[in-house]
Amino acid sequence: MSKKTHITLKVNGKSEEFLAEPRELLIYTLRERLNITGPHIGCETSHCGACTVTVDGKSVKSCTMFAVQAEGAEITTIEGIGTPDSLHPLQEAFKEHHGLQCGYCTPGMITRAAKLLEENPAPSEEEIRFGMAGNICRCTGYQNIVKSIQAAAAEMNSSQSSSSEAVGHKTTEAAE
Amino acid sequence: MKDEITRDERIDNLKGMGCSRKRVEDARFTQGKGNYVDDVKLDGMLFGDFVRSPYAHARITNIDSAAALEVPGVLAVLTAKDLEPLGLHWMPTLAGDKQMVLADGKVLFQGQEVAFVVAEDRYAAADGIEAVEVDYEELPVIVDPFESLKSDVILREDTVDENGRPTDGAHGPRNHPNHIFTWEAGDKAPTEEVLANAEIVAEESMYYHRTHPCPLETCGCVASMDKVNGKLTLWGTFQAPHAIRTIVSLISGIEEHNIRVISPDIGGGFGNKVGAYPGYVCSVVASIVTGKPVKWIEDRMDNLMTTAFARDYWMKGKISATKEGKITGLHCHVTADHGGFDACADPTKFPAGFMNICTGSYDIPTAYLAVDGVYTNKAPGGVSYRCSFRVTEAVYFIERMIEVLAIKLNMDAAELRRINFIKKEQFPYKAALGWEYDSGDYHTAWDKALKTVDYEGLRAEQAQRVEDFKAGKTRKLMGIGLSFFTEIVGAGPVKNCDILGLGMFDSCEIRIHPTGSAIARLGTISQGQGHATTFAQILASEIGLPADSITIEEGDTDTAPYGLGTYGSRSTPVAGAATAMAGRKIRAKAQMIAAYLLEVHDNDVEFDVDRFVVKGAPERFKTMKEVAFAAYNQAIPGIEPGLEAVSYYDPPNMTYPFGAYVCVMDIDVDTGVPDIRRFYALDDCGTRINPMIIEGQVHGGLTEALAVALGQEIAYDDMGNCKTGTLMDFFLPTAWEVPNYETDYTVTPSPHHPIGAKGVGESPHVGGVPCFSNAVQDAFRAFGNTHTNMPHDHWRIWKTANELGLHD
């Protein structure tokens, strides 16, 4: 055990302040300290992506980031992506296209997909498969996940194109 | 009364069988509101974790916990010595063997549980584990089952008597101290005679490598002993919660009514979560000792290295045929590596599971199978990874033997299958190794598959590719993988299937509420299969209330009826049947109530979609909703109030789903990288309850098949070190490696199942593995390849090409 550090960060818009050891992992902070249990632990080696959250605008595997590294950061988890009364189009699309089975990867999968669609609002199938390669699903074989993301992108673009003309196209970052 | 909607609309409104109803589970999962075992939090909950052995085989001379107990936050350290007075230092496996809970004087595999550290949180537990001092004396390590059967090194002291002679095991005599069992099926002498006199005999040895189900959520539990009322509650990743309750009662002595087992949401199982693990026992003991709830959750390394591996079958086959290709006999011998303990989860009478389905989809008159189980210094198990008790091994074996025979006969492998299929009119078909196949129409499925993929066109293209390769025009070869599988699922009839003496029936209990909605509880437990969606559909069609008005509950042993759980594709064949039968009991009582309300005789009303109508007078009816209300508010002579039913279903036979798969693959000879160009999967699972969910199961099963065939393995070095303990080394395909699949179907209902359904969850894995493997092997057939072992990762494919001289 070593000395505790004072950490402040914001999760889903809410400010949090606590003392934690330097070795405390961000996923532990979220799940055990803040009771945010949407992100899951699958591998603890940043391969599976079940713990994916957004930290300051980037997809992050929270099982391999220390809480101290998130000092001052703004974090979004699945709990901050939609509400029961107003689901994110991805949440609707995953339900509609059977993009999940056991549900364990789903929070990380949707959180990553939301970021992917921000980075690239109209991805090709290949770009989706590449951009989602850091998130493992053991149940679906990905076919319906890809379909869900395509459907959500189409839905988001059709509701956006009514208000704005050009849809920005950025290069998709590879998930690791 | 006049109808405002049509009969078809009434059917649609039910969302019953046959429709792609959206899943009711998804609302919570997509919003991060699933409730998995690691989400369970109780006041004062402690966290337990294991000191694990770094050695594969060693004697333990001392365990010193003093320093660990000084670590802040550590409350207790359990060793075998603490469990021994309770008789809990060993526990029964689901295979008739027993397994150490904590190392009892020695360890038999790397990662074995040595001590259990109980602390206030995970970090303190990790600190405590570091501080436990264990003295090991290394012993010779055996990782090869053939060497094990010849070795003087006795792995298990409980397998020999005082004179060092092997004792009898749970399944008969041992022929060596490291030998677990010999299991035979079929007729040995007649088979040998057929083979000796055959026109053609093809032989092959193949290794079905060790792998692991690796669900995304690892195994874990929370044990909470309430000392005030004497009740133990155990939450956990249990594919068979009721069986776990009985086992916990039997080994702990706590009366079964004082134990409540709860399987919350489960993050995938695939066979990994059927058995009982040391973590469960230690958590229960730790909760009793500390008086506080104790949680144990595996990390990924624990999961891959210690709990429930699958396969590890060394198979030797001989298949005989006439010169025209008619198969006359099949001989199979398996050496089964079970690791340190036989911890598979097979029905008692089947120590090698349903390996005796290895005659496959073919009319083979004579066959013999023998399986020898062996101990080695590897992790214990031998579970069914997305398959019904070794069916995956059996189907891989026969589908490879068919290909090997086709090469020997210089015959097309699709045609060889066709001329040997069991014919439609032969069902029910009694197979040489004992099973009675309930139904099938293999030729129709096969013809449809081959036509859809343009099989002849593919073969022509492949032949051209070989020419182009030889002419130096391309470095890519083309493989056409075929497989035709018959599964055996839905264990099963109590007369021949039990686990630890518990008959493998299943159950459903239904309560109809006064306002016409319902709750149904089952003895199974979903791990992603969507039971809450599909079982409501069965009921909707059976009782005429909308699926949306029916809640399905599973997994709480205090409320759900007893059942043997979900694995081996048994939920739909067994619990699905119980659901239909319970629904029919509801309907029978409802019919009497409706007749009373309509003032006619019971036999003068009939059920129609969602109502009972007076025969010949369809305008006179009572809906099921109206009947439900009447059941609670009318005093009907001779009929008890209420509307409830329960059914315990013991199936008369297994079900036999089948399918035809074709995979087309391009293989880069210089890099060994396969590119799956096309995968076509035709499944016949009998009556289809929810096509959307069936397709999802097929996609997922095929992807797990791709993983196993093309790279996924649990590998050891000679020292017994597990080389594949993280997802860096253990292959799980990502979206990048996985193709799109084409799904198709035929429907051959099961004649003995109440709704004709057969189960589908495991078929794509069972049929998929040989299909991917056959595609790789077929690509090299023109260059002299007969068989290479899986997994066909890039290196091994490259090596095959290299050995065939394709890099010269």
Q: Print the domain residue range for B547.
A: 7-34+506-649
> In whole angstroms, what separates CA B107 from the centre of its chain?
28
A104: nearest CB among B31, B267, B693: B267
Is B134 in contact with B63 (CB distance < 8 Å)? Answer: yes
Rounded to whole angstroms, the Cα distance separating B458 from B453 reads: 8
Chain B hits for A124, Cβ within 8 Å = none
Q: Identify the three-state secondary structure at position B555.
A: coil
pLDDT exceeds 70 at position A1:
no
Rounded to whole angstroms, the Cα distance separating B385 from B209 reads: 13
Averaged pLDDT, B96-114: 97
Taking an 8 Å cut-off on Cβ atoms, the answer to whether B38 and A31 are in contact is: yes
Q: How many Å lie between the alpha carbon of A151 and the closest alpha carbon of chain B?
A: 15
Picking from B649, B670, B699, the residue at the C-terminal end of a domain is: B649
What's the complex ipTM? 0.97
Taking an 8 Å cut-off on Cβ atoms, the answer to whether B31 and A77 are in contact is: no
**Chain B residue whose CA is closest to A50:** B216
Structure tokens belonging to residue B109: 């595999």
Q: How many Å lie between the alpha carbon of B299 and the closest alpha carbon of chain A?
A: 7
Taking an 8 Å cut-off on Cβ atoms, the answer to whether A48 and B32 are in contact is: no
What CATH number corresponds to the domain at position B262?
3.90.1170.50
DSSP summary character for residue B559: T
Task: Indicate whether B176 belongs to any domain.
Answer: no
Chain B hits for A50, Cβ within 8 Å = 216
- Residue B25's CB is within 10 A of a number of other CB atoms, namely 23
DSSP summary character for residue B36: B
Is B625 in contact with B514 (CB distance < 8 Å)? Answer: no
Task: Indicate whether B97 belongs to any domain.
Answer: yes
Chain A hits for B217, Cβ within 8 Å = 40, 42, 102, 104
Kindly indicate the confidence band of residue A162, based on its pLDDT and cuts at 50, 70 and 90: low
- Residue B262's CB is within 10 A of a number of other CB atoms, namely 22
Taking an 8 Å cut-off on Cβ atoms, the answer to whether A32 and B121 are in contact is: yes
Chain A hits for B727, Cβ within 8 Å = 43, 45, 47-48, 136
Classify the C-alpha dihedral B466-B470-B473-B477 as positive or negative.
Answer: positive
Assess whether B386 carries a catalytic annotation. Answer: yes
Chain B hits for A104, Cβ within 8 Å = 34, 36, 215-217, 267-268
What domains lie within chain A, and their CATH numbers? 5-80 (3.10.20.30), 89-161 (1.10.150.120)
Task: Determine what percent of chain B is predicted with pLDDT higher than 90.
Answer: 97
Q: What residues form DSSP beta bridges with B644?
A: B511
Q: How many Å lie between the alpha carbon of A117 and the closest alpha carbon of chain B?
A: 16
Domain match, B588 and B711 both = no
pLDDT at A164: 47
**Chain B residue whose CA is closest to A95:** B26
Q: What residues form DSSP beta bridges with B368?
A: B186, B331
Q: Is A102 on the interface with B (CB under 8 A)?
A: yes
* Mutation site for B-interface testing, chosen from A12, A79, A104 by largest number of B Cβ within 10 Å: A104
pLDDT exceeds 80 at position B174:
yes
Task: Indicate whether B560 belongs to any domain.
Answer: yes
Domain match, B229 and B96 both = yes
Q: Cα-atom radius of gyration of chain A, to the nearest Å?
A: 16
Indicate the residue type of B337: D
Kindly indicate the confidence band of residue B492, based on its pLDDT and cuts at 50, 70 and 90: confident
Which residues between 135 and 154 in chain A have a beta carbon less than 8 angstroms from any beta carbon of chain B? Answer: 135-146
What CATH number corresponds to the domain at position B645?
3.30.365.10
pLDDT exceeds 50 at position B536:
yes
Rounded to whole angstroms, the Cα distance separating B804 from B673 reads: 16
pLDDT tens, position by position, B232-269: 999 999 999 999 999 999 989 999 999 999 999 999 99
Averaged pLDDT, A138-156: 98
Rounded to whole angstroms, the Cα distance separating B7 from B480 reads: 47
Domain match, B46 and B19 both = no
pLDDT tens, position by position, B31-61: 999 999 999 999 999 999 999 999 999 999 9
Taking an 8 Å cut-off on Cβ atoms, the answer to whether B215 and A138 are in contact is: yes
Domain match, B605 and B695 both = no
Taking an 8 Å cut-off on Cβ atoms, the answer to whether A144 and B696 are in contact is: yes
Task: Indicate whether B534 belongs to any domain.
Answer: yes
Kindly indicate the confidence band of residue B3, based on its pLDDT and cuts at 50, 70 and 90: low
Kindly indicate the confidence band of residue B500, based on its pLDDT and cuts at 50, 70 and 90: confident
Task: Indicate whether B171 belongs to any domain.
Answer: no
Which residues between 53 and 92 in chain A have a beta carbon less than 8 angstroms from any beta carbon of chain B? Answer: 77-79, 82, 84, 87, 91
Q: φ, ψ for residue B437 (rounded to 5)?
A: -70, 130
Indicate the residue type of A30: L
Kindly indicate the confidence band of residue B568, based on its pLDDT and cuts at 50, 70 and 90: confident
Task: Please count the structural domains in chain B.
Answer: 3
In which residue are the tokens 């072992």 written?
B789
Domain match, B705 and B637 both = no
Domain match, B56 and B28 both = no
Task: Indicate whether B498 belongs to any domain.
Answer: no
Chain B hits for A140, Cβ within 8 Å = 696, 699-700, 703
Rounded to whole angstroms, the Cα distance separating B544 from B555 reads: 26
Catalytic position from the list B112, B239, B462, B697: B239
Taking an 8 Å cut-off on Cβ atoms, the answer to whether A42 and B217 are in contact is: yes
Task: Indicate whether B147 belongs to any domain.
Answer: no
Sheet holding B106-107, edge to edge: B106-107, B58-64, B133-138
> In whole angstroms, what separates CA B343 from the centre of its chain?
14
Taking an 8 Å cut-off on Cβ atoms, the answer to whether A98 and B267 are in contact is: no
DSSP per position, B69-124: HHSTTEEEEE-HHHHGGGT-SEEE-TTS-EEESS-SSEE-STT-EEEEEEESSHHH
Taking an 8 Å cut-off on Cβ atoms, the answer to whether B696 and A102 are in contact is: no
How many alpha carbons fall within 13 Å on the CB side of residue B378? 32
Q: How many Å lie between the alpha carbon of B730 and the closest alpha carbon of chain A?
A: 11
Q: φ, ψ for residue B205 (rounded to 5)?
A: -110, 135
Averaged pLDDT, A136-142: 98
pLDDT tens, position by position, B445-479: 999 999 999 999 999 999 999 999 999 999 999 99
Chain B hits for A41, Cβ within 8 Å = 38, 297
Domain match, B519 and B600 both = yes
Structure tokens belonging to residue B421: 């299929």
- A vs B, Cβ pairs < 8 A, gives 167
Q: φ, ψ for residue B200 (rounded to 5)?
A: -130, 135
pLDDT at A169: 43
DSSP3 helix / strand / coil % (chain B, rounded to 5): 30, 25, 40
pLDDT tens, position by position, A32-50: 999 999 999 999 999 999 9
Burial class (CB in 10 A: 0-12, 13-18, 19+), B472: exposed
Q: What residues form DSSP beta bridges with B430?
A: B436
Taking an 8 Å cut-off on Cβ atoms, the answer to whether A41 and B530 are in contact is: no
Is B609 in contact with B10 (CB distance < 8 Å)? Answer: yes
pLDDT tens, position by position, B691-735: 999 999 999 999 999 999 999 999 999 999 999 999 999 999 999
DSSP summary character for residue B716: B
Provide CB contacts within 8 A for B518, sequence distance 6+.
B510, B511, B512, B539, B543, B545, B549, B550, B551
Q: What is the mean pLDDT of chain A?
A: 92
pLDDT exceeds 90 at position B444:
yes
**Which of the pair, A171 or B512, is modelled with greater confidence?**
B512
pLDDT exceeds 60 at position A171:
no
Is B605 in contact with B591 (CB distance < 8 Å)? Answer: yes
Domain match, B302 and B359 both = no
- Say how many Å lie between the first and final Cα of chain A, rounded: 31
Catalytic position from the list B245, B311, B386, B521: B386
Domain match, B280 and B360 both = no
- Say how many Å lie between the first and final Cα of chain B, rounded: 85
Averaged pLDDT, B79-86: 97
Chain B hits for A101, Cβ within 8 Å = 268, 528-530, 696, 700
Is B20 in contact with B530 (CB distance < 8 Å)? Answer: no
Domain match, B362 and B442 both = yes
Structure tokens belonging to residue A82: 């939609």
pLDDT at B99: 96
Assess whether B239 carries a catalytic annotation. Answer: yes
Is B208 in contact with B312 (CB distance < 8 Å)? Answer: yes
B727: nearest CB among A24, A36, A48: A48
Structure tokens belonging to residue B797: 């494919």
pLDDT tens, position by position, B301-336: 999 999 999 999 999 999 999 999 999 999 999 999
Q: Cα-atom radius of gyration of chain B, to the nearest Å?
A: 28
pLDDT tens, position by position, B383-438: 999 999 999 999 999 999 999 999 999 999 999 999 999 999 999 999 999 999 99
pLDDT exceeds 50 at position A172:
no
pLDDT tens, position by position, B276-302: 999 999 999 999 999 999 999 999 999
Domain match, B724 and B626 both = no
Letter string b/e over residues A123-137, b meaning 16 or more CB atoms within 10 A of that residue's CB: beeebbbbbbbbbbb
Taking an 8 Å cut-off on Cβ atoms, the answer to whether B217 and A102 are in contact is: yes
Is B345 in contact with B384 (CB distance < 8 Å)? Answer: yes
**Chain A residue whose CA is closest to B741:** A143
Task: Indicate whether B100 belongs to any domain.
Answer: yes
pLDDT exceeds 80 at position A2:
no
Q: Is A33 on the interface with B (CB under 8 A)?
A: no
Q: How many Å lie between the alpha carbon of B475 and the closest alpha carbon of chain A?
A: 24
Taking an 8 Å cut-off on Cβ atoms, the answer to whether B216 and A102 are in contact is: yes
Burial class (CB in 10 A: 0-12, 13-18, 19+), A3: exposed
Q: Identify the three-state secondary structure at position B302.
A: helix
A43: nearest CB among B22, B268, B300: B300
pLDDT at B363: 98
pLDDT exceeds 90 at position A75:
yes
Taking an 8 Å cut-off on Cβ atoms, the answer to whether B23 and A129 are in contact is: no
Kindly indicate the confidence band of residue A166, based on its pLDDT and cuts at 50, 70 and 90: very low
Q: Which of B507, B524, B546, B565 is nearest to B24 (CA)?
A: B546
Q: What is the mean pLDDT of chain B?
A: 97
pLDDT exceeds 80 at position B769:
yes
Q: Is A133 on the interface with B (CB under 8 A)?
A: yes
**Nearest-10 crossing angle of helices A89-96, A106-119:** 120
Domain match, B571 and B484 both = no
* Mutation site for B-interface testing, chosen from A87, A136, A138 by largest number of B Cβ within 10 Å: A138
A45: nearest CB among B38, B728, B736: B728
Rounded to whole angstroms, the Cα distance separating B766 from B789 reads: 17
pLDDT at B270: 95
Q: Identify the three-state secondary structure at position B694.
A: helix
Averaged pLDDT, B70-88: 97
Rounded to whole angstroms, the Cα distance separating B84 from B63 reads: 15
Q: How many Å lie between the alpha carbon of B695 and the closest alpha carbon of chain A?
A: 9
Rounded to whole angstroms, the Cα distance separating A142 from B484 reads: 24
